[in-house]
Amino acid sequence: MRQRNRSGQAGSTEVDLVLFGALGDLAQRKLFPALYHLEREGLLDPATRLLGLARQGHDLDGFRCRVEKSLEARVKTQELDRETLARFLARLDFLPLDFTCPEGYGAIREWRRHASRPMVVYLSVAARIYGDICRHLDTSGCLDDTSRVVVEKPIGYDLASSAGINDAIAAAFPESRVYRIDHYLGKETVQNLIALRFANPLFGTQWNQNHISHVEITVAEEVGIEGRWGYFDDAGQLRDMVQNHLLQLVCLIAMDPPANLDADAIRDEKVKVLKALKPFTDDMLGRDVVRGQYTAGSIDGKAVPGYLEEEGANTKSHTESFVAMKTGVANWRWAGVPFYLRTGKRMPEKLSQIVIHFRQQPHYIFDPDQRDLAANKLVIRLQPEEGIALEVLTKDSGLDKGMRLRRGPLHLDFNSAFPKTRIPDAYERLLLEVMKGQQYLFVRRDEVEHAWQWCDNLIAAWEEHDEPPRRYPAGSWGPVASIAMITQDGRSWYEDY
């Protein structure tokens, strides 16, 4: 995990960060605010420089002014102090460039002329031009053996396109210097899964099919497609959310303990999980996988349009905005343990959580009416509030209650337990790690490709059957069939929100 950069210090953040697409949505909405927060926390090396690249012809003052306005709009007023802002803006440089034209790249080389610190190239642009950019950086002599590249999701549309993009990146950067972002890996509680599982002997010994009956992962979004019809209708929820974020969560829940915290030790274990994911067969389609698409409805009392009425919609689209599935990991640790996953847009609230359902005691001695209650659950909440709760059974208090059981949480709410600790945005952590040259929170090529392979298999089966998605009203928890999918196993989605 620890690497040395050219400035000689392990984990130093002294880099030149070169941001392609610096005026785009991601850069303005997420990356500059994250970098500002790193500045404010004193985590940026004083010598670190930031170069913004974009097609539009801003001069440096115009660019700084644009970034300042974005920060004023995105950073909470109490966190935006003028001194930090001035220090941050002073780090920024700007060059206008058409990324697909090799001629302009000499200007980047010039900008770097006397710099000895590593260059981190962040590609905040569509993946279809990653190849051009990497090639032009290489042929124009901008790269050396310390240069790193950060790439955004989605990496491709399927295994074949993803392999093409990865090949183009690999022609300029070795895998050890490629940082593939999955922003879920930057979320505090997601990283906490590693601490929770591997630092607590209590869980370490129980984390297998002998003690866990099933696992649930819900990633519900209140938002719809947010004006991104062009992208989303080609992708759908499986490619947009399952191929990356949900499968990464499955990996962190299901992987075996890595030998150490080195990036490759962790990623080797994640790949084993992806390889062991159960493939879907035709007979599972109706039973174990449900695709849905939202119709008009209301959320928080506000009317919202259906998917087919969104701006720019093709009213015949069968693209799914919701997926629920029952899958599993075919190995000794997880044999017979279903993993129920569901994710959708326009659900009643934003909620991302993992629920580990432990098995019941082998011999039950309490009130037979309470038998269903008698199992522990570990609820790991990623958002909106981050926290971990272990549901335990205790005796109901009161003289008249006998040995009746009561279910209650041993609850760790990060905001109230550690009130002074600001929970950083995922991009803050990811940017910090890439500047330090640490890869453990980034996705390796084989992870991306195994995840695509598994999704491609499901998509091919869907395409063959060509069934329209089931409708669900915006503001609901998805199609009724997604509830039937889990109740057919005598279980239900965890609803104690």
Ligand X SMILES: O=C1O[C@H](COP(=O)(O)O)[C@@H](O)[C@H](O)[C@H]1O
Residue 221 binds which one of ligand NDP, ligand X, none, with CB within 5 to 8 A depending on kind? ligand X
Residues numbered 342-361 forming contacts with ligand X, rule: CB under 6 A? 352
Q: Does residue number 23 form part of the binding site for ligand NDP (CB under 6 A)?
A: yes
Q: Does residue number 240 form part of the binding site for ligand X (CB under 6 A)?
A: yes
Minimum gap (Å) between residue 496 Cβ and ligand NDP: 31
489 is in an annotated binding site: no
Q: Does residue number 386 form part of the binding site for ligand X (CB under 6 A)?
A: no
Q: Does residue number 425 form part of the binding site for ligand X (CB under 6 A)?
A: no
CA 231/CA 26 separation, integer angstroms: 15
What is the size of the binding site for ligand X (CB under 6 A)? 4
Binding characters for ligand X, 288-327, by CB under 6 A (x = yes):
----------------------------------------
What residues contact 456, with CB distance under 8 A and at least 6 apart?
158, 159
- The beta strands (E) that lie in 335-376 are given as 339-344, 351-358
395 is in an annotated binding site: no
Residue 100 binds which one of ligand NDP, ligand X, none, with CB within 5 to 8 A depending on kind? ligand NDP
CA 379/CA 196 separation, integer angstroms: 12
37 is catalytic: no
Which of residues 214 and 239 has its CB atom nearest to ligand NDP in the complex? 239
Q: Does residue number 379 form part of the binding site for ligand NDP (CB under 6 A)?
A: no
Polymer length of the chain:
497
Q: Does residue number 26 form part of the binding site for ligand NDP (CB under 6 A)?
A: yes
CA 178/CA 172 separation, integer angstroms: 10
Residue 240 binds which one of ligand X, ligand NDP, none, with CB within 5 to 8 A depending on kind? ligand X
Residues numbered 72-101 forming contacts with ligand NDP, rule: CB under 6 A? 98-100
Minimum gap (Å) between residue 27 Cβ and ligand NDP: 6
Per CB under 6 A, the list member of 39, 68, 216, 221 interacting with ligand X is 221
Counts for the chain of helices (H) and strands (E), in that order: 17, 17
385 is in an annotated binding site: no
What DSSP designation does 283 have?
G
Minimum gap (Å) between residue 266 Cβ and ligand X: 21
- Tokens 């829940």, residue? 253
Residues numbered 133-172 forming contacts with ligand NDP, rule: CB under 6 A? 152-154
Pairing between strand 377-383 and 387-395? antiparallel
Q: Does residue number 55 form part of the binding site for ligand NDP (CB under 6 A)?
A: yes
Which of residues 223 and 330 has its CB atom nearest to ligand X in the complex? 223
Nearest alpha carbon to residue 443 among 190, 136, 260:
190
221 is in an annotated binding site: yes
Collapse the DSSP code of 356 into the 3-class scheme (helix H, G, I; strand E, B; otherwise coil) and give the result.
Answer: strand
Pairing between strand 297-299 and 148-151? unpaired
Edge-to-edge strand ranges of the sheet holding 212-220? 405-413, 387-395, 377-383, 351-358, 212-220, 339-344, 322-327, 289-295, 470-473
Q: Check: CB of residue 167 under 8 Å from CB of residue 190.
A: no
Phi, psi (degrees; rounded to nearest 5) at 296:
-60, 150
Tokens of 242: 């399952």
DSSP per position, 8-51: S-BT----EEEEETTTSHHIIIIIHHHHHHHHHTT-S-TT-EEE
Q: Single out the segment in contact with ligand NDP by CB under 6 A; choices: 119-127, 208-216, 246-254, 340-348.
A: 119-127
Minimum gap (Å) between residue 185 Cβ and ligand X: 11
CA 321/CA 472 separation, integer angstroms: 10
Please identify which of the residues 214, 245, 357, 450 carries the catalytic annotation: 245
Write out the binding residues for NADP(+).
Answer: 55, 98-99, 153
Contact residues for ligand X, defined by CB under 6 A? 221, 223, 240, 352
Write out the binding residues.
Answer: 55, 98-99, 153, 183, 187, 221, 240, 345, 350
Contact residues for ligand NDP, defined by CB under 6 A? 21, 23-27, 54-56, 98-100, 124-127, 129, 152-154
Enumerate the active-site residues: 245
